[in-house]
Each structure stands twice: as structure tokens, then as C-alpha cells.
Chain A
């Protein structure tokens, strides 16, 4: 069957396309992009006044299955992803049990297959049980379909083990994803060590808790030639270190989350558990620096760190609440509204950081509308206003600090391999 996406403004960073084009989809692949393609017996999808981009890809998704099905499942996470305009997401390994052997990777892929909404790329654990003591079976997991490795939720504290894991990742040609957090510095910290922590009387997490491990990893990545990817960068100092490391030829990439770009420690005031995450929200200087770093390419990608929790877990005193917020359904509209519409980032840059670059970092197909590529694409409605209602999320997780925000740039259609997985908020 053929589908014609007609009349939209097509943006594709991979081909440097930005203009009014029609896109012909045939057998699940992009068949042609041209100014006016005649509709001869094919299904026409009208994209007039909308933008058409390569499908969004999330480098950092917690799907919680197995073991955390009350928070999210592969199925519900897939729905949320489709609603948010994502055609591909990762499945981070900090589940229960941890995704640390090839059988669990295969089981996760089977769950993703069954759910069928969007593409799911498993990320395996670097160490067994992510306990930071023994290497996990990285090569066998890679053979089973793991596309990257991380102990996310924690960093790899032991430098020798981190170095050895980097050697394996280098040999496998996959990225080592680091959650930079020195636990001796972070301690029992609950939020950024700053004015709000001082006011609320809560233990803080310094920036050095992040940058100390970042510095070590940059050194190890240079020494091992491993592709190092820094997750959820939160501070100005970290961005400066990555900029310098890139200039020195270290093979490093970095991601930033929408919340670290848009929110500061002030969001936590009043003990708001929906603003509690790791790394913590920092200061206005940091959000400004991170935004500049994203615009100048120091930071390569935006990732959601979608971290669903149940309402009851997030309801309680601040110190008892778990870290993390959801992000799949709000990421693109938030950044379109607050970075693109305000002129801080071009739309092309946003699409590149949420689609083309994540695909390249992960080494997966996607992030392009080149003829011959799978028809993974998203149509965005840039004019209709949406007041974010966390209770209406398709994700089981409703833990968002963006409830009540007015945004634009809401995904209207998500297509995976030519199949429409979401249209006007309807999944299917």
C-alpha cells in the first residue's frame, strides 16, 4: 500500500531539507520526497500547516518491565512514546531483575514485539545486577540485541571496572552510557546543593558529584578509544568539560533532558516531589549554559530520562519519594515552545537533537527521511495549543512537574515503518 503525506513542511537534518514537500511511502519505506507528488490510488495524509520530521528517538527511557509493572510496562511506555511522537525508544536496564544477560535482552525484545507500538532498543547493564562488581555478559547481550550499555541509576564507581567495560564497548562498537554520580559526594542528597536545599533543610547534591566522575570517564574514554555517552548532563561545568574533551579528540557525546533545560532548583521549593530527580535541577546559569551547549553542538542530543513512578510513591514526604519524572509525552512540545519559539534553538537543531543524532549515537536506523529508509516519521501540529494535563498521560507515570504548562508543537501523527501508530492522540 502506498501513502502520500501531502502539503507539509518537511524538515530533515540528515539531508538538510527544509521546505514544502510531499512524501511518498511505499512498503513501509520512504519512496520519494518531491515538491508535488500525484496521488494515484494511494492513501493521502494531509499535512497542510504541519511539519513532517524524521521520527523522534529517545536515548533514555525507563520502561520498568520486568518488575516495575505498576509504574510502566513496555506496552504502556510504547503508547506514551507514540503519543509523544517517538518512533524509537530505548529500554534502560535498571528493572527487577536487571537486564544483565542475553536471555533478559531477548525477553525484553519479545515484549516490545508484542506491544508493537514503536521500536524498542534494549540497553544492557554494564555490570551484573548493576551492582558495580563484575562485568555483565556484554558481548552475548550485544549478540542478543542490546545496542548500548549502562548501569544507569548509578555510575560505575570502580574505575578499573569502568575501564574494562569501556574496552568491551569499544570492541563491540557500542556506546558506554554513563550516569555520572560519585556516590561518596552525592551521599543521601535529595536536590541540588544550593539555596533551595539550604532553605528546605535537605541534604544537597553538589555539581562535583557529577563532574568528578565525568572527568574520570573522559580520561578513560580517551585512553580506551571507547565511545562514551554522557547521560542527563545537568550543569555548566560538565558542558565545558565535554566541549574541551571534544576539542581534544575524545570520542564523547552527551544528552540533556528537557527538565534540565527548562527548570531550576526553584521548582523543588515547597517540597515538590515531582521535581525530584537525579541529577538534580540546578540553577538558572546552568539551564542557560546547557541551552547554549545544545545549540552549539557541545551537547548532541535531547533525551527524556522518562522515569515513571506510581502516584503513591511520589505522594509522601520529600525524602521518601523516589527520584525521576516522566517525559515522553511532553518532551517535544516543551522544547518546541520554550526553545524554538523563543529563538534559542532552530527547529532543525531540535529535530537533529531528538532524532538524527540519537540514531547515530545508538547506531540504529532512523533519524532520516532519505528514500529507502524505513518510514519512521512524525507529523507535528505547531499551531494548536495544549495545556499539559498529567492525568491524561498514556504513560502509567503521571509524575510530571510540567502539569498545567501551555505548549505548542504537539505530535499529530506518528508512523513507524509505514504503519500509523498514533493519529490525533489515538493509538493504534
Chain B
């Protein structure tokens, strides 16, 4: 993977994903032991995060990952200006490339923008979330969390619940999970679950309670307030009652099953406070794993052999 861009999980083989996960697992230990850090694996490397959309956990986690490996960060004060179009982003990116920056970490509201940059640059571009398209490092940290829990992937049953249509997390996970042999199911409001997800490999389920009871992992997605204004859902209250994870549904889950959420969670909407704090919720583990997963990606893409 060295020198390549990291844009999507759709083109990653199970071997590549497996290697990234095992590297991430190794980094999990080191990551929480500050005495061992920073490593000097990426010493002298410069990484520029380009976040055109608001982000706390992904941005901080990438920065932490880069520093842990000894890389330096160029902090560009670009603000959350998602209106900046592809061509101007490319101009900025080319400027950075000309200054011998080693890699870009890009988040943007326009699906496909990181691919466009990668096609026009010779340095690696890491997709930190593009529109509704993909968020591949999120999928990696989710797989890591699932692996830590179950020790394997084959035959597991993961249920995604909520706003599938607008979710880059669901897409990246769908592609990666299928590659690893996980069965993916999806459920949510009829307006927010595109039927075409079936052709992409997911099973769309109508009976949510039954699907929750059968799942090894229930993955709740964030619903945004704007979906109400744009006519996709009638109210967050109705959404919460029909597609949220409350006490009743929590009780339906198998005893070994876990709960995931990409964050930031709307507590009281897609999940209740009790669900968030439920002993088998792994939401905070996901956040912690984010650093290790991103260390693995940076390592694979940038470390000298």
C-alpha cells in the first residue's frame, strides 16, 4: 500500500484489511502507553490535514496518530468551508505537494473529492470522510472494535440502523464487512434506506425488533436535524420511537451482542442515555481504536521499508 492513496474500502482485499487490522491491534497497546511515544517510524514526514467539514474526533485522532508515529503536522486554518470546490482544493493541495508535504488527510462535503485530488497529485491522499460516500478509516476502527470483541469476522451479523442514505460510515463498513465475511443488514425510515443497498450486498430488513434480536452488532447511525426540514422524516421524536435504540430494544439484544455508534451521538434520538451507557456499548472503545487504526493506515502508506 506504500505510496498509495487510501480512499475507499471497496477496493481493499481481505488480506490488506487483515494486515491493517493486525497492525492496528499492535498499536492499540502502544497508543495508550505514553512513555513509549512518539515512535520514530515517520520521523521527518509532514502530514497536512485538510478538513473542510467540521470534525472533532476524526481530526484529533488523525493528528494523534501522526504524532504517535513521529510525523509532523501542518495545521492549515482553512475553517469548515465546505463550499470550496474541487478545483480550488486541488490548487491548495498542489501548493502543499510542491512544499514536499508527504500526505494529505482530507474531509470534504463533496462525494468523490478525495479521489479527484488523488488522481491529480502524486502524494497519498487519505479520505477522512467525503460527503455521503465513504469514511474508510472509520470502517477500519469499527472492524478493529468488532475483532477485539469476537476474535473473528466470518458469520457475524451486523445491523445498521438509521439514516443509511446519507451515511458514509454505512457505505465504507458495508464494503469492508462483506470482504471480511460479515453479513450486513440495514434498517431505517423508508426514505433513508435506498433499495439499491441490496444490489451493493446489504439485506434490507423491515422487522427491526427481529433484526436487533438476531444481531451480533447493532450499529446506530447519526440522524441529522436537517433531515426533518428536508422532508425525509416527520419528527425526531417519531424517528426515535421507530428507529431508535431504547430500553425495550436493548432488552431484545443477545447477551454477547454489542452496540456501536460513529459519534457524535444524539442521545435521546437514535439511542437513549441508557443505551449509550449500557455495559455492552462499545462507543468509547471505538473512539480509542480510532487512533490505532489511523496509525496503521499512516504506517502502511508512509513508512519506509
Residues in chain A near residue B2, CB distance under 8 A: none
Stretch at the interface among A9-17, A313-321, A327-335: A313-321
Residues in chain A near residue B110, CB distance under 8 A: 317-320
Given the contacts A312-B87, A317-B85, A320-B87, A200 and B200 also touching, CB distance less than 8 Å: no
What is the distance, in angstroms, from A256's C-beta to the closest C-beta of chain B?
A: 24
**When the two chains form their complex, are residues A271 and B112 in contact, meaning their CB atoms are under 8 A apart?**
yes
Residues in chain B near residue A70, CB distance under 8 A: none
Interface residues on A, range: 20 to 34
Please encode chain B, from 82 to 96, with 1 for each CB lying within 8 Å of some chain A CB and 0 for all others: 000111011000000
Q: Is A44 an interface residue (CB 8 A)?
A: no
**When the two chains form their complex, are residues A195 and B199 in contact, meaning their CB atoms are under 8 A apart?**
yes
Q: Is A284 an interface residue (CB 8 A)?
A: no
Q: Is B12 an interface residue (CB 8 A)?
A: no
The residues in A between 269 and 297 inclusive whose CB is less than 8 angstroms from any CB of B are 270-271
Partner of B131, one of A193, A194, A199, A202: A202
Partner of B115, one of A198, A271, A319: A271
B residues adjacent to A (C-beta < 8 A): 10, 85-87, 89-90, 108, 110-113, 115-116, 130-134, 168, 171, 194, 196-197, 199-200
Q: How far is the CA of A327 from the CA of B133 in the complex (A)?
A: 30
Q: How far is the CA of A203 from the CA of B111 in the complex (A)?
A: 10
Most buried by B among A201, A202, A270: A201
Given the contacts A271-B115, A318-B110, A198 and B86 also touching, CB distance less than 8 Å: no
Given the contacts A271-B116, A316-B116, A195 and B200 also touching, CB distance less than 8 Å: yes
Closest 9 CB pairs of A and B: A317-B86, A201-B133, A201-B132, A316-B86, A198-B196, A271-B112, A317-B113, A320-B85, A317-B110
Partner of A202, one of B85, B111, B116: B111
Q: How far is the CA of A199 from the CA of B196 in the complex (A)?
A: 9
Q: Is A412 an interface residue (CB 8 A)?
A: no
Q: Is A165 an interface residue (CB 8 A)?
A: no
The residue in chain B whose Cβ has the minimal distance to the Cβ of A316 is B86
Q: How far is the CA of A200 from the CA of B168 in the complex (A)?
A: 9
Residues in chain B near residue A271, CB distance under 8 A: 111-112, 115-116
What is the distance, in angstroms, from B96's C-beta to the closest C-beta of chain A?
A: 17
Q: Is A197 an interface residue (CB 8 A)?
A: yes
The residue in chain B whose Cβ has the minimal distance to the Cβ of A197 is B196
The residue in chain A whose Cβ has the minimal distance to the Cβ of B164 is A198
Partner of A318, one of B10, B90, B112, B197: B112
What is the distance, in angstroms, from A341's C-beta to the closest C-beta of chain B?
A: 32
Residues in chain B near residue A316, CB distance under 8 A: 85-87, 90, 116
Residues in chain B near residue A193, CB distance under 8 A: 194, 196
**When the two chains form their complex, are residues B134 and A201 in contact, meaning their CB atoms are under 8 A apart?**
yes
Residues in chain A near residue B197, CB distance under 8 A: 198
**When the two chains form their complex, are residues B168 and A315 in contact, meaning their CB atoms are under 8 A apart?**
no
**When the two chains form their complex, are residues B111 and A319 in contact, meaning their CB atoms are under 8 A apart?**
yes
What is the distance, in angstroms, from B108's C-beta to the closest C-beta of chain A?
A: 8
Residues in chain B near residue A199, CB distance under 8 A: 10, 171, 196, 200
Q: How far is the CA of A202 from the CA of B111 in the complex (A)?
A: 6
Residues in chain B near residue A204, CB distance under 8 A: 194
The residue in chain A whose Cβ has the minimal distance to the Cβ of B166 is A201
Q: How far is the CA of A201 from the CA of B114 in the complex (A)?
A: 13
- The contact sample of 20 A-B pairs, CB cut-off 8 A, is A198-B196, A198-B197, A199-B196, A200-B112, A200-B133, A201-B130, A201-B131, A201-B132, A201-B134, A201-B168, A204-B194, A271-B111, A271-B116, A316-B85, A317-B89, A317-B110, A318-B112, A318-B116, A319-B111, A320-B86
Starting from the known contacts A193-B196, A319-B112, 7 additional A-B residue pairs (CB-CB under 8 Å) come to A197-B196, A198-B200, A201-B133, A204-B194, A270-B115, A312-B87, A318-B111
Q: How far is the CA of A319 from the CA of B116 in the complex (A)?
A: 11
Q: How far is the CA of A193 from the CA of B194 in the complex (A)?
A: 9
The residue in chain A whose Cβ has the minimal distance to the Cβ of B109 is A319
What is the distance, in angstroms, from A265's C-beta to the closest C-beta of chain B?
A: 10
The residue in chain A whose Cβ has the minimal distance to the Cβ of B117 is A317
The residue in chain A whose Cβ has the minimal distance to the Cβ of B85 is A320
**When the two chains form their complex, are residues A200 and B111 in contact, meaning their CB atoms are under 8 A apart?**
yes
The residues in A between 186 and 215 inclusive whose CB is less than 8 angstroms from any CB of B are 193-195, 197-204
Residues in chain B near residue A318, CB distance under 8 A: 110-112, 116
Q: How far is the CA of A16 from the CA of B209 in the complex (A)?
A: 68
Most buried by B among A194, A198, A270, A312: A198
Given the contacts A195-B199, A317-B116, A201 and B86 also touching, CB distance less than 8 Å: no
Q: How far is the CA of A271 from the CA of B115 in the complex (A)?
A: 9
Residues in chain B near residue A270, CB distance under 8 A: 115
The residue in chain A whose Cβ has the minimal distance to the Cβ of B88 is A316
Residues in chain A near residue B10, CB distance under 8 A: 199
The residue in chain B whose Cβ has the minimal distance to the Cβ of A187 is B230
What is the distance, in angstroms, from A93's C-beta to the closest C-beta of chain B?
A: 27
Q: How far is the CA of A318 from the CA of B116 in the complex (A)?
A: 8
Q: How far is the CA of A200 from the CA of B7 in the complex (A)?
A: 12
Please encode chain A, from 59 to 90, with 1 for each CB lying within 8 Å of some chain B CB and 0 for all others: 00000000000000000000000000000000
Residues in chain B near residue A200, CB distance under 8 A: 111-112, 133
Q: How far is the CA of A203 from the CA of B87 in the complex (A)?
A: 21
What is the distance, in angstroms, from B279's C-beta to the closest C-beta of chain A?
A: 34
The residue in chain B whose Cβ has the minimal distance to the Cβ of A199 is B200
